[in-house]
Chains A and B, each alone.
Chain A
Amino acid sequence: MSERLATQPPAPRAGAAFAPGTAAVMPAAGGGGVIARHPVWATVVAVLILLLAWLVFGAWPAGLIAVLGRKRVVLNAVLNGLTLGGLYFLVASGFTLIFGLMRNVNLAHGTLYLLGGYVGYVVGVASGSWLLAFVAAAAASALLGLLLQWGVFRRMEGEDLRQTLVTIGISIVVGDLMLWVFGGDFYQIQAPDSLLGAVKLPIVVATRGDGSAVLLTYPRVRLVVFAASVVIGVLMWLALNRTRIGMMIRAGVDDRDMLVAFGKPVQLIFAAVFAFGAGLAGIAGVVGGTFQSLAPGEDTHFLLASLVVVIVGGMGSIPGAALGALLIGLSEQVGIVYLPTYSVVLTFLIMVAVLAFRPAGLLGRHVAPAQAGASMALLAAAAAARRRPRGEPVVFGLRAPTLVVIAALLLMPLVANGFFLVQVFAWSFVLGMIALGLTVLAGYGGMVSLLQMTVAGIAGYLVAVFGHSGVTTVSLGWPWWAAVLAAILIAVAFGTVSGALAVRTAGIYTIMITLAIASAFFYLTLENYAIFNGFSGFNSVPVPHVFGIDWRRPVAFYYLVLFWAGLAYVVAVFLRRTPFGLALQGARDNPRRMAALGFNVTAHRVAAYAIASLIAAVGGVLLVWLNGEIAPGTAGVGPVVDILVIAVVGGIGDPIGAFIGALIFVLLRTFASDALTFVGLNQERFQLLIGLGFLLIVFFSPDGVLGLWARWRGRPRAAA
């Protein structure tokens, strides 16, 4: 036996080493005979092309019109979808390029878009030149991009979660600054006269009574811009695939050390790519300002569009961004025709299907979860700061400070008035609960989910839908307990299923995916009237009378919320010591080892989403009772991010952090206006304050206020 084995080593290796090379060469060599080699597919494609051509150029029979609608409407929607896709591509390609090369998730990308748009508007108006607007926009956004790359991404190399949090903070701050300067108005950038007006396309949409044909007309500027984005896309692709610099960038995507090996200044290439991607976003801002309009909120809109496009198309892939942009643009515009008020659902379903079947995106390459998991160092550090017994007096297993806090909370109604009880404390507890779920997910499980407010929002909405509200046309009028039960069940189911989608990838992707899902829900509530009553939402949602108590009265409501928040807190603390909680923490720190110990890491993560969703859903029910109303803004992108801000500012290392963060947030929200007026600022600058505070915390104390406190006391809790 050893004889036979001994003769083996060197000879076959050479052959094996060459095998992949030969395989790679073959298809290229035989490229001419595609039709000959795939006759069936070639036929199918040919038939499809002919069918498409007929649909576009032919006259539609009545039967088809009955099914699809009038040809002009349909083609218009398709053209709108294509051109919108072009715009999405401009924004998303920069995002994906930056992500692909540097693994930087820049959640301020939408800010770059809106900044470019505003700068373009100002320059366009001042100079009267549309082209100059582009140049200025590209320059401004590229400059901000460079600042981001230099000030954030380079400084926090390898800490992608922290980078992402900082970019969220920056987008809040810059967004508010832009609101300050430009106000809430809509701005439209004027295209030059030569591009105004409509073109007649050689497409017959109908025949007049006299037999003459009606041609499809379409705004010229949109067609031009679409053509420009195609050109830009093709140029980018060529630059990446056919030039030396492009090859180096692509090599860098696979392996950074490669770039160093080329002897090129890596940082210079990174900065250049970042500036280019940011500049593209600025250009897109001018485009968007020309054929849509610029307003606050468009930054978030385009950030989210980029996220969805990139998730669908494949993270880091330029062709993927093109495909994703077209798909999403088409689904939005065609959706408006066929599924008015549900078109977001279509986009959402596309995203869900992609995540379920191709988590890396249609044209993306698979990213090993282990690699992504390593990025969670920040959270691990925050969560590793663990509380240990300190040898202080203990009563019923509780230490003195805890007892004082409990007593103070219980006696609060003796000293605080109704406003404080409800608008300060109850509100803090509710927000704290919702954020607490995130502490469980992120602190114990290492998953930074932005779904918490959405789950709460769903529960809140459904209480109004199933139960009672001022909108009697929609509300079903079920008894309160049935409505609450159903609302919580559905919200938890939603949170769990979304979690199951989110855990198919890991690390930084979780933020992107959950943000995309959360925003889909927001836009759905905004445009859907049948279930969510659209823009106005529901008012006069009553708090039930149970056990002869009117729970709407401040003292009663305070205790109600205190009870549930306290329960949620105890559960979260208790969870940490249970086998489930330990396993979750293990999965956070080392998923690979957990699997090698016999744990199904994915199942634990999904279960964590279920628990977090349950906490959020209960919080959501309390929230709708607290406010007596719910509208799209309740679970809008702002509040969704606020929950993350609350959890991080309080400190993810300990469940109490969520409540501390919430209390700070609510106090700021309630009293900041006075303080702001005092220093001579408009009270609307609240977001600025929140954003700056968040930035400070993320920059200087990743483990939040709790961490600051621990350091101030001079004993980090990690020490035994």
Chain B
Amino acid sequence: MASVAERLQAAGAVNALELRGVTRMFGALAALTDITLSVRPGERRAVLGSNGAGKTTLFNCITGDFPPTSGTIRFFGEDVTDFPPQDRIRRGLRRTYQISQLFAGMTVFENIYLGCRGVSRGRFSMRPPRRADALVQAAEELLDAVHLVPVRDLLVAELAYGQQRQLEIALALAGAPRFILFDEPAAGLSPTERSELLEILNALPPHIGFIIIEHDMDVALRVVDSVTMMHNGRIFKEGRPEEIESDPEVQELYLGGAHA
């Protein structure tokens, strides 16, 4: 039976994400070491760090793609450490991948439809989708939101790179997300595409929080309330964007390194 504390937590003041001592090994390599992190509901945070810092691995642990070697992960108060990815996703977690993970042999619409289907019931449905289905409508709206209507029936393999990135984001917006992990969504985009991306991120309803991994400080800092710096699989600094930006150590370790 749930303790009073647990019920109180469930009622409100509970973090969207709560990581405690998360460590992930790849063989002898510690990609993440003892990560402790909490993110409030609706909070928008950037994770910065040089190549190989463990940012993507952090996402993989949170979504369960690669479960942590040790430590616990709570999603809105619920311990999801041992959940398979799909059970976390069905609870409102979403993610995009640094390298697009799309269904190249399917049409854009089919990709988005799958995204919507995955977080609703009827995943085993034997009834072909029809125009009037609520889920099809939802998919069409999503298509519109990420400006992909003109390429609706093209195969994903035929899309331009920027459009594939947009589709990647659409997949993370399907259904009713509560928290989203964006892995370098802006990488490789043109300036126009970048500002479209920022528009989409800024237009997200305020209750939806996210973490964004982004190498470009200018992009990152325009959409987030807080920043976490990672290095060598550890968190070494957390703070508000302007604190981080002006921090000499960050300048040296990250910005300096990145520009060198």
- Is chain B a partner of chain A in the same complex? yes
Binding site for B on A (CB under 8 A): 1-2, 5-6, 8-9, 12-13, 16-17, 20-21, 380, 383-384, 386, 574-575, 577-580, 582-583, 585-586, 589-590, 592-601, 603-604, 607, 718, 720
**Which one, A579, A590, A592, contacts B123 given CB within 8 A?**
A579
**When the two chains form their complex, are residues A592 and B234 in contact, meaning their CB atoms are under 8 A apart?**
no
Distance in angstroms from A580 CB to nearest chain B CB is: 5
Taking CB atoms and an 8 Å cut-off, the chain B residues in 126-155 that contact chain A are 126-129, 154-155
Cβ of A519 to closest chain B Cβ, rounded Å: 32
Chain A residues with CB under 8 A of B118: 583, 594, 597-599
Say yes or no: is B115 at the interface (Cβ < 8 Å to chain A).
Answer: yes
Q: Is the CB of B238 within 8 A of A1?
A: yes
Query: Which of B38-46, B83-91, B188-196, B198-206 has 4 or more CB atoms under 8 Å from chain A?
Result: B83-91
B64-81 residues at the A interface, CB under 8 angstroms = 64-65
Q: Is the beta-carbon distance between A586 and B114 smaller than 8 angstroms?
A: yes
Select from chain B the residue with minimum beta-carbon distance to A7: B236
Please state if B89 and A598 are interface contacts (CB–CB under 8 Å). yes
The 3 closest A-B pairs by CB, nearest first: A598-B118, A597-B118, A384-B105
A-B contact pairs, 17 of them (CB 8 A): A1-B239, A2-B237, A5-B237, A8-B234, A9-B232, A384-B105, A386-B105, A577-B129, A579-B117, A586-B106, A597-B89, A597-B117, A597-B118, A598-B90, A598-B175, A599-B114, A601-B86
Q: Do residues A597 and B119 form an inter-chain contact, with CB atoms below 8 A?
A: yes
Question: With A578-B126, A579-B125, A583-B123 in contact, is A5–B236 under 8 Å at CB?
Answer: yes
Please name the residue on chain A nearest to B128 by beta carbon: A577
- Stretch from B8-16, B96-104, B214-222 at the A interface: B96-104
Interface status of B242 (Cβ within 8 A of chain A) = no
A6 CB contact (under 8 Å) in B33, B126, B249: B249
Residues A596 and B122 in contact in the complex (CB < 8 Å), given A2-B238, A5-B237: no
User: Are the C-beta atoms of A596 and B114 separated by less than 8 Å?
Assistant: no
Tell me, rounded to whole Å, the shortest Cβ–Cβ distance linking B127 to chain A: 7
Asked if B247 CB lies within 8 Å of chain A CBs, one says yes
In the bound complex, do residue A598 and residue B86 qualify as a contact, i.e. CB atoms below 8 Å apart?
A: yes
Q: Are B235 and A582 in contact (CB under 8 A)?
A: no
CA distance A21 to B110 in the complex (A): 49
Partner of B30, one of A16, A578, A595: A16
Pick from A585, A607, A720: contact of B105, CB below 8 A: A585
When the two chains form their complex, are residues A578 and B127 in contact, meaning their CB atoms are under 8 A apart?
yes
Beyond A586-B103, A720-B155, whether A599 also contacts B123 by CB under 8 A is: yes
Q: Which of the listed residues A1, A579, A607, A720 has the most CB atoms from chain B within 10 Å of its own CB?
A: A579
Counting CB contacts under 8 A, is B95 at the interface? yes
- How extensive is the interface on chain B, given as a class? 35 or more
Residues on B with C-beta less than 8 A from A16 are 30, 33
Q: Is the CB of A579 within 8 A of B122?
A: yes
B162 → A minimal CB distance (Å): 19
**In the complex the two chains form, what is the Cα distance from A607 to B33 in whole Å?**
39
**Contact assessment for B236 and A597 in the assembled complex, using a CB-CB cutoff below 8 Å:** no
Please indicate the chain A residues that have their CB under 8 angstroms from the CB of B249 in the complex: 6
Q: Do A590 and B85 touch across chains, with their CB atoms under 8 A apart?
A: no
CB distance from B91 to the nearest CB of A (A): 9
User: Which residue on chain A has the smallest CB distance to residue B65?
Assistant: A592
Contacts of A20 in B (CB 8 A): 28
Instruction: Give 14 new A-B contacts, CB below 8 A, not counting A8-B234, A577-B129.
Output: A1-B238, A1-B239, A2-B238, A2-B239, A5-B235, A384-B105, A590-B102, A595-B85, A595-B86, A596-B85, A596-B97, A597-B117, A600-B123, A720-B158
Taking CB atoms, residues of chain B closer than 8 Å to A383 are: 105
In the complex, the answer to whether A595 meets B89 with C-beta atoms within 8 Å is yes
Q: Do B103 and A2 have beta carbons less than 8 Å apart?
A: no
Q: Name, among A8, A16, A582, A607, the residue most crowded by chain B CB atoms within 10 Å (CB to CB).
A: A582
- Contacting residues, chain A, for B113 (C-beta < 8 A): 579, 582
In the complex, the chain A residue whose C-beta lies closest to that of B105 is A384
Task: Please state if B124 and A579 are interface contacts (CB–CB under 8 Å).
Answer: yes
**Interface of B toward A, CB cutoff 8 Å:** 28, 30, 33, 63-65, 84-86, 89-90, 95, 97, 101-106, 110, 113-115, 117-119, 122-129, 154-155, 158, 171, 174-175, 231-232, 234-239, 243, 247, 249, 253
Shortest distance between the CB of B204 and any CB in chain A (Å): 19
**In the bound complex, do residue A599 and residue B86 qualify as a contact, i.e. CB atoms below 8 Å apart?**
yes
Task: Let me know if A580 and B123 touch, CB within 8 A.
Answer: yes
Selected contact of B128 from candidates A2, A578, A586, A600, CB within 8 Å: A578
B236 touches A580 (CB 8 A): no
In the bound complex, how far is the Cα of B247 from the Cα of A564, in angstroms? Answer: 73
Q: Are A9 and B101 in contact (CB under 8 A)?
A: no
Contacts of B86 in A (CB 8 A): 595-601
- Give the nearest-CB partner of B153 in chain A: A720
Residues of A within 8 A of B124 (CB): 579-580, 583, 603-604, 607
Chain A residues with CB under 8 Å of B64's CB are: 595
The complex places the Cα of A383 from the Cα of B123 at a distance, in Å, of 21
Residues of B close to A583: CB separation below 8 A: 114, 117-118, 123-124
What is the CA–CA distance of A604 and B86 in the complex, to the nearest angstrom?
13
Least CB distance, B141 to chain A, in whole angstroms: 17
Query: Is B129 touching A579 in the complex (CB atoms < 8 A)?
Result: yes
By the criterion CB–CB under 8 Å, are B103 and A596 in contact? Answer: no
User: How many Å lie between the Cα of A8 and that of B236 in the bound state?
Assistant: 6
CB distance from B225 to the nearest CB of A (A): 15
Q: With A2-B243, A16-B30, A580-B125 as known contacts, state yes or no: A596 contacts B101, CB within 8 Å.
A: yes
- Which residue of B has the minimal Cβ distance to A575? B126
Residues of A within 8 A of B174 (CB): 597
Residues on A with beta carbons closer than 8 Å to the beta carbon of B171: 593, 597
Whether the pair B106, A582 counts as a contact (CB closer than 8 A) is yes
Asked if residues B85 and A2 are in contact (CB atoms below 8 Å), the reply is no
Residues in B with CB closer than 8 Å to A17 are 30
> Please, how many angstroms separate the alpha-carbon atoms of A599 and B88 in the complex?
11
A292 CA to B62 CA in the complex, in Å?
57
A20: nearest chain-B partner, CB-CB: B28
Known A2-B239, A13-B232; contact A593-B125, beta-carbon cutoff 8 A = no
Tell me whether A5 and B232 are in contact in the complex, defined as CB-CB below 8 angstroms, given that A593-B103, A597-B115 are known contacts.
Answer: no
Known contacts A5-B236, A574-B128, A579-B124; A596 and B65 CB within 8 A of each other: yes
- A447 to B: closest C-beta gap in Å: 17
What chain B residues lie within 8 Å of A603 (beta carbons)? 124
Q: How far is the CB of B125 from chain A (nearest CB, A)?
A: 4
Tell me the minimal C-beta distance from A614 to chain B in angstroms. 13
| Cα distance, A578 to B113, chains bound together (Å) | 11
A352: min CB distance to chain B, Å? 23
Q: Are A589 and B117 in contact (CB under 8 A)?
A: no
Chain B residues near A720 (CB-CB < 8 A):
154-155, 158
Q: Which A residue sits closest to B181, measured CB to CB?
A: A596
In the assembly, what is the distance between CA of A6 and CA of B250, in Å? 9
Given contacts A6-B249, A589-B105, contact A596 B63 (CB under 8 A): yes
Chain B residue contacts of A586, Cβ below 8 A: 103, 106, 114
* Shortest beta-carbon distance from B222 to chain A in Å: 21
Shortest beta-carbon distance from B180 to chain A in Å: 12
CB-defined contacts of A577 to chain B, threshold 8 Å: 128-129
Q: How long is the Cα–Cα vector from A236 to B85 in the complex, in angstroms?
A: 41
In this complex, what residue of B is CB-closest to A577?
B128
B35 vs chain A, min Cβ distance (A):
12
- Chain A residues, Cβ within 8 Å of B102: 590, 593
Report the bound CA distance from A582 to B135 in whole Å: 15
Q: Which residues from chain A contact B89 at a C-beta distance below 8 Å?
A: 595-598
Q: Which residue of A lies closest to B126 (CB)?
A: A578
Which listed residue, A2, A6, A12, A595, touches B84 by the CB 8 Å rule?
A595
Residue of A nearest to B28 (CB): A20
